[in-house]
Amino acid sequence: MNPIAISQGDPAGIGPELIAASWILRGMARLEPFVAVGSRRVLDEAARHRGLDVPVRPVGSLAEAVATFDSALPVLDLGDADYTPGQPTEQGALLALDALDAATQLTVAGETSALVTAPVSKSRLASVGFNHPGQTEFVGQASGVAPEDAVMMLAGPSLKVVPMTVHVPLHAVPGLITPELITRRSAITARALVRDFGIADPRLAVAGLNPHAGEDGRMGHEDQSYIAPAVAALQAAGIAARGPLPADTMFHAQARSTYDVAICMYHDQALIPLKALDFDDGVNVTLGLPIIRTSPDHGTAFGIAGSRQARPGAMIAAIRLAGECAARRASTTA
């Protein structure tokens, strides 16, 4: 297979050091060959800061990256940048954007088997002209998918969650929850669970928006007006969906055993249980794309960058899952 492309993320965050740590653990973690896309110097310094002996080797082709991977961390070098852990700069944000763009283009062109994105700061990227809510929408657009069809899922060993609305203010959520949005994004989720995760007949648990899923309309009307019709439409389409369910009782262990994915109405309804249960191996996966894209569930963690406190589990899980999904797609199209 072609290598996995990993965009380096913000140089001042924990992304570069976790790419280096993942390379060190590549054998034990059973990772497919990957190539970093970013700055050779930043990766080199980040590894050294972390006390890791990682030979970082610029490569001129993806074949060379695969051939190099056993003995060195291959990098498609985009040039130099500021590197002070924990101190983001405009130059660093521009490099993060270049790396995201280059790694995405390679994957869209089919030259790399999957895309893993290291964390970026959304506000820092916005300050250098990035006009997407997040990397999800950027990658969706680059791969020819409408923004509403690039669906964010967070996946961990205990739970999978899909927020129907993502990076929007909480007060905007009720106005965005429509039966069409829920039906469309849930159907994309169900198809992706079959195609990329090998779950033959995925079970969807759809959360309500309001306390007690609205308590028969006494605590809000959206559950009955918008969410229940979406669940009915999904069922009519042959998808094993149920809801709206009271969100507060959806995430205990016995409840989780009854579904494959929780369809949630807003960002924190989904990401709080996921990060409470699976922070150290949670993966952010974009569903509905012609390419595979994953990312660790955490952000740039500027406060601990360069201090050797950042745990590599989620980055490793993101790389491993990218390889597994790529292998599954390759085997089903062969």
Ligand X SMILES: NC(=O)C1=CN([C@@H]2O[C@H](COP(=O)(O)OP(=O)(O)OC[C@H]3O[C@@H](n4cnc5c(N)ncnc54)[C@H](O)[C@@H]3O)[C@@H](O)[C@H]2O)C=CC1
Q: Which residues pair with residue 58 across a beta bridge?
A: 75
Annotated binding-site residue? 2 = no
- Indicate which of ligand X, ligand LD2JLWAY, none lies near residue 311 (CB less than 5 to 8 Å, by partner kind): ligand X
Which residue, 125 or 233, has its beta carbon nearer to ligand LD2JLWAY?
125
Least distance in angstroms from the C-beta of 284 to ligand X = 6
Residues 196-218 as b or e (16 or more Cβ within 10 Å = b): bbeeeebebbbbbbbebbbeeee
Site for ligand LD2JLWAY in 222-281 (CB under 6 A): 271
Residues that bind ligand X (CB under 6 A): 14, 119-123, 135, 284, 295, 298-301, 303-304, 309-311, 314
Asked whether position 284 contacts ligand LD2JLWAY by CB under 6 A, the answer is yes
DSSP 25: T
Runs of H (alpha helix) within the chain: 15-24, 40-49, 62-68, 90-108, 122-127, 135-142, 173-176, 179-197, 222, 228-236, 253-256, 267-278, 313-333
252 labelled binding-site residue: no
Q: Is 104 an interacting residue with respect to ligand LD2JLWAY (CB under 6 A)?
A: no
- The entry of ligand LD2JLWAY, ligand X, none that residue 136 binds, CB within 5 to 8 Å by partner kind: ligand LD2JLWAY
What is residue 77's three-state secondary structure?
strand
Q: How many residues bind ligand LD2JLWAY (CB under 6 A)?
A: 6
267 marked among binding-site residues: yes
Tokens 């500027």 found at: 302
Hey, which residues does 122 pair with through a beta bridge?
none
Q: Is 121 in the site for ligand LD2JLWAY (CB under 6 A)?
A: no
Q: Strand 73-77 vs strand 34-38: parallel, antiparallel, or unpaired?
A: parallel
Q: Tell me which of ligand LD2JLWAY, ligand X, none is bound by residue 143, counting a contact when its beta carbon lies within the kind-specific cut-off of 5 to 8 angstroms.
A: none
Q: Which residues contact 277 (CB under 8 A, 6 or more apart)?
A: 156, 158, 159, 251
**Distance separating alpha carbons of residues 274 and 283, to the nearest angstrom:** 10
Cβ 135 to ligand LD2JLWAY, closest distance in Å? Answer: 3
Question: Closest approach of Cβ 116 to ligand X, in Å?
Answer: 10
The partner in contact with residue 85, picked from ligand X, ligand LD2JLWAY, none with C-beta cut-offs of 5 to 8 angstroms by kind, is none
Residue nearest to ligand X (CB): 299
Q: What is the DSSP letter of 164?
A: S
Does 134 engage in binding with ligand LD2JLWAY (CB under 6 A)? yes
329 and 36 in contact (C-beta within 8 Å)? no
**Closer residue to ligand LD2JLWAY, CB minimum distance, 113 or 295:** 295
Strand bridging mode 114-117 / 4-7: parallel
Given the rule CB under 6 A, which residues bind ligand LD2JLWAY? 134-136, 271, 284, 295
Binding residue ranges for substrate: 136, 275, 284, 293
